[in-house]
Amino acid sequence: MRKLAVVLLSGGLDSATAASWVLSEGWEAMALSIDYGQAHRRELLSAKAVAEALNIPRQSADARFFASLAQHSALTGSALHALPEGRAVEEMANGDIPITYVPLRNSVFLTLAAAALESWALGLIETERCDPRSLKAGIVIAANALDYSGYPDCRPEFYAAAKRMLNLGAKLYTQYGVEIELLTPLIDLSKADIVRLANRLKAPLGLTWSCYAGGEKPCGVCDSCQLRAKGFLEAGLADPALA
């Protein structure tokens, strides 16, 4: 059985861990990084470095137009919306969706990844005459429903619905019966659990970037920086990106 996986690689701690995980599970992986017009390019540089360290071929999609559509976010319309800084972790978990949520970003990301994955698999089936029964296909996304900022597109029920939608619209499934799986290995892990898993898999965390702000060093005060620091602290490990 040949297992094909497209990994959505943002360059952060979580996506680097998910990419390392899928390799450890014996999948043949390709990374996809998406420039959606985010406020800084730093994470894309990290994504490139992580893919090279893991020896995964990587595609980069230019979707910068998306920022003007999904502008109600501090990550896309930074001139309009300030990044939250210095919030207590307890405040992040109060149920309110923060301004760092990018409208329907993961829906778009999954669709782009599915297009790349389906093209890969259809090429094998229709050009190389590969038996579809010998293929598995999956999209890996580092969504996390715990220890996070409450984004609605990071919940298990979202991925269950997205999987059905993608397969109903895919030739790969409707003609050849190859189901597109949505692999969310971090969905129910705490940030400390993710750090421990990454450490066990020897993920290249020193190359990752989680900070919502750009710059030479992480800001240390945005939600993502604080959650990352909390994870390393609770895991009892030093963050190699800060060395």
Domains of the chain: 2-242 (3.40.50.620)
Residue range 166-185, pLDDT digits in tens? 999 999 999 999 999 999 99
Residue range 198-228, pLDDT digits in tens? 999 999 999 999 999 888 899 999 989 999 9
- Mean per-residue pLDDT, 92-111: 89
Positive or negative, the CA dihedral 227, 230, 235, 240 is positive
CB of 165 closer than 8 Å to CB of 137: no
Tell me the pLDDT of the chain averaged across its residues: 94
- Mean per-residue pLDDT, 153-163: 96
Query: What is the percent of the chain with per-residue pLDDT over 90, rounded to a whole number?
Result: 84
**The predicted structure's pLDDT at residue 61:** 97
**The predicted structure's pLDDT at residue 158:** 96
**The predicted structure's pLDDT at residue 90:** 67
Query: Residue 229: pLDDT band by 50, 70, 90 thresholds?
Result: very high
**The predicted structure's pLDDT at residue 213:** 87
The values of phi and psi at residue 174, to 5°, are -70, -30
CB of 125 closer than 8 Å to CB of 132: yes
State the Cα–Cα distance between residues 171 and 187, nearest whole angstrom. 28
Residue range 7-58, pLDDT digits in tens? 999 999 999 999 999 999 999 999 999 999 998 889 999 999 999 999 999 9
pLDDT higher than threshold 80 for residue 195: yes
Query: Residue 71: pLDDT band by 50, 70, 90 thresholds?
Result: very high
CB of 38 closer than 8 Å to CB of 68: no
**The predicted structure's pLDDT at residue 44:** 95
One-letter amino acid identity for 238?
A
Q: What is the DSSP annotation of 146-200?
A: SSS---GGGSHHHHHHHHHHHHHT-HHHHTT--PEEEE-TTTT--HHHHHHHHHH
